[in-house]
Amino acid sequence: MVVVENLTKPRHGEASEFKSQSDELREIAQSGEKRKHFIATIIGAAGDHDPISLRKLLLPLHPADCASVLSELPEESVRTIIKYIGEELDSEVFAELDEDTRELFVDILPTAALARAIEDLDSDDAVAFVEELDEEERAEVLAQTSPEFRTNIEGALSFEEETAGRLMQREFVAAPEFWDVGRTIDHMRAVGEDLPDLFFEIYVVDPMFKPIGAVAVSRLMRAPRNKSLKDLMENLHVVVKPETDQEDVALSFQKYHLISAPVVDVAGRLNGMITVDDIVQVLQEENEEDMLALAGVSDASTTDDVFESVKSRLPWLMINLFIALVNSTVISKFSGLIEQVVALAVLMPVGSALGGNAGTQTLAVAVRALAQKELTSENSMRIVWREFFTGTLNGIAIGLVFATVAGLWFHSWIIALAAGGVIVIDFVVAGLVGILVPLGLKRLNYDPAVASSIFVTFITDLVGFSAFLTIAFFLLK
Amino acid sequence: MVVVENLTKPRHGEASEFKSQSDELREIAQSGEKRKHFIATIIGAAGDHDPISLRKLLLPLHPADCASVLSELPEESVRTIIKYIGEELDSEVFAELDEDTRELFVDILPTAALARAIEDLDSDDAVAFVEELDEEERAEVLAQTSPEFRTNIEGALSFEEETAGRLMQREFVAAPEFWDVGRTIDHMRAVGEDLPDLFFEIYVVDPMFKPIGAVAVSRLMRAPRNKSLKDLMENLHVVVKPETDQEDVALSFQKYHLISAPVVDVAGRLNGMITVDDIVQVLQEENEEDMLALAGVSDASTTDDVFESVKSRLPWLMINLFIALVNSTVISKFSGLIEQVVALAVLMPVGSALGGNAGTQTLAVAVRALAQKELTSENSMRIVWREFFTGTLNGIAIGLVFATVAGLWFHSWIIALAAGGVIVIDFVVAGLVGILVPLGLKRLNYDPAVASSIFVTFITDLVGFSAFLTIAFFLLK
């Protein structure tokens, strides 16, 4: 059932026209028959080289919907669309394009048109667009923009990727602390067009232009005109430095329920702001990274082709193969034992599979807690102990069941003891390794989500195989 | 290096006092020596039953910081704090408490005080607090609140958990389409206290109270007083129904960069709004759920004790044990073969471990794409084919390496062929299963993140073991 509605309507439409057009646009934005039909119509219009129809179909769409429609069209149609109406599209569409479509725009559109479009964007969206261009394209496009815009973009690009400096926009509203409500509102009315498109807070600055507070626009509007900003402002819970990692910024937004946060320069002067819509994007990206990293995929998208998919997964599988082979050499050391008892060959993989899973469970909890800053140097010892005991208890529970099954199956208490023992040992090791490996990687400044699972699987497999064979070897002697 | 600063300052402090106090509060909010010292001081003050010190230490904190400090104190101290200054704490603190601390507040505070605090919250935060209480407590607390508040809360609770109806707040600002800017601003000034604490958009409604547009407060403030709202408003890209899943609402916020969205009742009348700060929370929760589910942990927190950790992981491990044992019965069918060739016992686990990993990789990509609505019925066939080819190519690459190593190790082309063949077969199966299982579960309305990994591991293990043994059996005959 479709329950989130899209009511995009033409700005000056009649009530009756509004109904039908809004229904249409809502259905186009969601997957289904209507969208399929809409896309087929666009492909037709592009095939006919019919700019009037293309304009009528694409221009009323929300920029996000327009970009998502473009991403589903065949390359030939997109090329035609860019050629005929590329310069008429809302510049916001440029901020929403996927990688392949963006490259087509850069290839086909005249550099001057591209420059006009990005100059029209908020500076954070412009940076996001420009940072994906290669050196040469970037220089060409920026050469066609105003010197002030170029300086801003180059300033932002001087910060590392995934930092606050890349996320912030240079457009914000600030007022001195001694202004009152009336003066502030009058000033904003007078400045008009030069204000950012949308803003939610006004930063209050001291004479050195350092931010000392913020006033929500909704509070400003209903306060008496003679009230001073200093009396009205809220304290700033967060002031961001541009080199801050975007993940840390996102955590502050989450903790303090922020809508925007000021960014300052080295001297502490207000230099930009970060808004919550960018943070929503960051949260999504960082979480995707963590999840895929845990499963050993370096980067992925549904638009990837087979070659890209292979490239992002094969390296991890090769490492995995190497580790599995190292483990096999351990098993081969006991080849005499295996020939002797088939039970060992049958039961051995069970132990290591379970140990690997127990390790991954701890790992997922630890990686998440590290990302959320819930796992700190203060509480890490407590968590390590908890994982140790959790591993022991889970090991005893699973070990008892496994030992019982193994004993009944092969009618041997020796096999049962080896089976149960290996589970307990491997689970304790899995718990400790699952927490200590990500903690150690974090301390060495590596991303714990990326590298941990390799180590953890290696160690739990190795312990699983060798403990089983060692116990059996001594018991059977 | 600490780069996100906290500048919380007392509202009427002197400039000099401001500097030192803000530094102090910033350091307390972050983990480190200062925070340890601060917490020790609070424990001391609680031990001395010294409400004056407790007040001075805790009341200046941001509600989120106050709640986080409380969560780290021993239960005894928290009890003392609630007894002495529980009623003086900012009601926002109640919205930030963790489970254990919340229960202490409910136990210790008089019901009337609890009712006063939650009535003071925005209705979405009040709902979040009340929904965690048990039936009896909930009835007691609600009985002490105003009938209007009680009706609102009970209305929200009538919607299922994790839906828009639970997330929305009843406080919003709406104006009829025929009002102009001046009248709207004057009206808001006149109403004053009755407006919500913070808002970012004013919804424009038709005579039936259906939302037809929105005006950002920052636009309203700088528009000419005689401009009508109808001319100023933006189209509504999203109108939410209360039964919508919160994940779908979050995706709309992300796609259209929304700050707030209107919620309507069955008749389409404006009934509440959802704001982006709640969406930030939802995104975090849903992503955590997915990541932990993929690793087979049902629910987890760093504050969990050992017993809770065991409870959330043991069920999955038990299922895993059962599956591993089923696989063992397959191996045991070939016991004659295993006795004959040690190589099989040594190499067999490698194949199934790699197949399991390849399956998990596909799974992680598929679960993420489903959550993001990137995987739809339109493009699923294309993705299935891509996974098939990706599996084949990765299988050939890894299979060649494995076959070479196995052949050189055991000086047998039969072993090499069996080793390489099983990898290719298992990888193709892993790719298909990794995409088809989550797609199928989604179609049956199960959460693909929760149940997929069990099936995928089962099938890849089974195929890995049996393919290897079957190939070897026929080749060695």
pLDDT, tens digit, 9 for 90 and up, residues B27-66 = 777 777 888 889 999 999 999 999 999 999 999 888 988 9
Closest CA to A462 of A348, A343, A345, A330: A330
Length of chain A: 477
Spatial distance between the Cα atoms of B331 and B348, rounded to a whole number of angstroms: 10
Say if residues A294 and A363 touch (Cβ distance below 8 Å). yes
Say if residues B267 and B284 touch (Cβ distance below 8 Å). no
Q: Chain A residues with CB inside 8 Å of B210's CB?
A: none
- pLDDT tens by residue, B119-139: 988 888 899 899 888 888 889
Question: Does B294 touch chain A if contact means CB atoms closer than 8 Å?
Answer: yes
Domain A15-162 class, CATH top level: mainly alpha
Residues 6 or more apart from B144 whose CB is under 8 A from it?
B111, B112, B114, B115
Q: Do A365 and B332 touch (CB under 8 A)?
A: no
Pairing of strands B174-176, B201-205: parallel
* pLDDT on residue B18: 36
* pLDDT on residue A222: 82
Question: Does A216 touch chain B if contact means CB atoms closer than 8 Å?
Answer: yes
Amino acid (1-letter code) at residue B219: R
Question: Does B227 touch chain A if contact means CB atoms closer than 8 Å?
Answer: no
CB atoms within 10 A of CB A432: 18
Q: Do B309 and A387 touch (CB under 8 A)?
A: yes
Shortest CA gap A136–chain B (Å): 31
Q: Which residues numbered 376-405 in A keep a CB inside 8 Å of some CB on B?
A: 376-379, 383, 386-387, 389-390, 393-394, 397-398, 401-402, 405
* pLDDT on residue B23: 57
Say if residues A343 and B345 touch (Cβ distance below 8 Å). no
Question: Does A475 touch chain B if contact means CB atoms closer than 8 Å?
Answer: no
CB atoms within 10 A of CB B63: 18
Question: Does A188 touch chain B if contact means CB atoms closer than 8 Å?
Answer: yes
Q: Chain B residues with CB inside 8 Å of A310's CB?
A: 390, 393-394, 397
* pLDDT on residue B299: 62
Pairing of strands B211-216, A260-264: unpaired
The answer to whether residue B376 scores a pLDDT higher than 80 is no
Side-chain half-sphere exposure of A307, counting CA atoms within 13 A:
0
Spatial distance between the Cα atoms of A186 and A198, rounded to a whole number of angstroms: 17
Spatial distance between the Cα atoms of A400 and A394, rounded to a whole number of angstroms: 10
Question: Does B461 touch chain A if contact means CB atoms closer than 8 Å?
Answer: yes
CB atoms within 10 A of CB B202: 25
Instruction: Give the residue, B315 or B263, on which the prediction is more confident.
Output: B263
* pLDDT on residue B12: 38
Q: What angle do CA B147, B205, B261 make, to 5 degrees?
A: 75
Question: Does A444 touch chain B if contact means CB atoms closer than 8 Å?
Answer: no
Helix (H) or strand (E) holding A160, with range, is none
Question: Does A268 touch chain B if contact means CB atoms closer than 8 Å?
Answer: no
Structure tokens at A381: 């010892």
Q: From its phi and psi, is residue B222 left (phi > 0), alpha (psi between -120 and 50) or beta?
A: alpha
The answer to whether residue B324 scores a pLDDT higher than 70 is no
CA atoms A359, A365, A366, A371: torsion sign: positive
Q: Which residues numbered 334-353 in A keep a CB inside 8 Å of some CB on B?
A: 335, 338-339, 342, 344-350, 352-353
The answer to whether residue B405 scores a pLDDT higher than 70 is yes
Question: Does B326 touch chain A if contact means CB atoms closer than 8 Å?
Answer: no
Say if residues A187 and A196 touch (Cβ distance below 8 Å). no
Shortest CA gap A28–chain B (Å): 12
DSSP state of A110: -
Question: Chain B residue with minimal CA distance to A355?
Answer: B317
- Give domain A174-294's CATH architecture: Roll (3.10)
Q: Do A6 and B318 touch (CB under 8 A)?
A: no
The answer to whether residue B211 scores a pLDDT higher than 60 is yes
* pLDDT on residue B49: 94
Q: Chain A residues with CB inside 8 Å of B374's CB?
A: 301-302
Question: Does B279 touch chain A if contact means CB atoms closer than 8 Å?
Answer: yes
Q: Chain B residues with CB inside 8 Å of A222's CB?
A: 188-189, 191-192, 195
* pLDDT on residue A243: 93
DSSP state of A195: S
Shortest CA gap A266–chain B (Å): 11
Interface test with A, best of B9, B35, B205, B291 (most A CBs within 10 A): B291
Q: Do B281 and A254 touch (CB under 8 A)?
A: yes
* Mean confidence (pLDDT) of chain B: 82
Shortest CA gap A43–chain B (Å): 16
Q: Chain A residues with CB inside 8 Å of B220's CB?
A: 221
* pLDDT on residue A414: 84
Cα distance between the two ends of chain B: 66
CATH number of B306-476: 1.10.357.20
Question: Does B40 touch chain A if contact means CB atoms closer than 8 Å?
Answer: no
Residue in A68, A390, A401 nearest the CB of B321: A401
Q: Do B217 and A222 touch (CB under 8 A)?
A: no
Q: Do B295 and A348 touch (CB under 8 A)?
A: no
Length of chain B: 477
Q: Do A8 and B237 touch (CB under 8 A)?
A: yes
* pLDDT on residue A303: 59
The winner for highest mean pLDDT among A13-27, B162-176, B286-300, B383-397 is B162-176
Spatial distance between the Cα atoms of A94 and A399, rounded to a whole number of angstroms: 57
Cα distance between the two ends of chain A: 66
Q: Do A287 and B292 touch (CB under 8 A)?
A: no
Q: Would you list the domain boundaries of chain B? A: 15-162, 174-278, 306-476
Say if residues A50 and A77 touch (Cβ distance below 8 Å). no
Spatial distance between the Cα atoms of B62 and B183, rounded to a whole number of angstroms: 36
Closest CA to B308 of B298, B295, B318: B298
* pLDDT on residue B3: 28
Residue B271 backbone phi and psi in degrees, to 5? -130, -15
Spatial distance between the Cα atoms of A102 and A114, rounded to a whole number of angstroms: 11
Q: Model confidence at B301, in pLDDT bands (50, 70, 90)?
A: low
* pLDDT on residue B229: 93
Q: Chain A residues with CB inside 8 Å of B226's CB?
A: none
Residue B274 backbone phi and psi in degrees, to 5? -115, 135
Q: Chain A residues with CB inside 8 Å of B4's CB?
A: 238-241, 244, 248-249, 252
Q: Do B222 and A290 touch (CB under 8 A)?
A: no
Report percent pLDDT > 90 for chain B: 29
Helix (H) or strand (E) holding B275, with range, is strand B270-275
The answer to whether residue B6 scores a pLDDT higher than 60 is no
* pLDDT on residue B11: 35
Q: Chain B residues with CB inside 8 Å of A354's CB?
A: 317, 320-321, 324
Spatial distance between the Cα atoms of A56 and A473, rounded to a whole number of angstroms: 78
Q: Chain A residues with CB inside 8 Å of B300's CB?
A: 364-365, 368
Q: Which residues of chain A have pLDDT under 50?
A: 1-21
B174-278: which CATH number, 3.40.50.2300, 3.10.580.10, 3.90.550.10, 3.30.70.60? 3.10.580.10
Shortest CA gap A77–chain B (Å): 18
Say if residues A262 and A172 touch (Cβ distance below 8 Å). yes
Q: Chain A residues with CB inside 8 Å of B71's CB?
A: none
Question: Chain B residue with minimal CA distance to A405?
Answer: B325
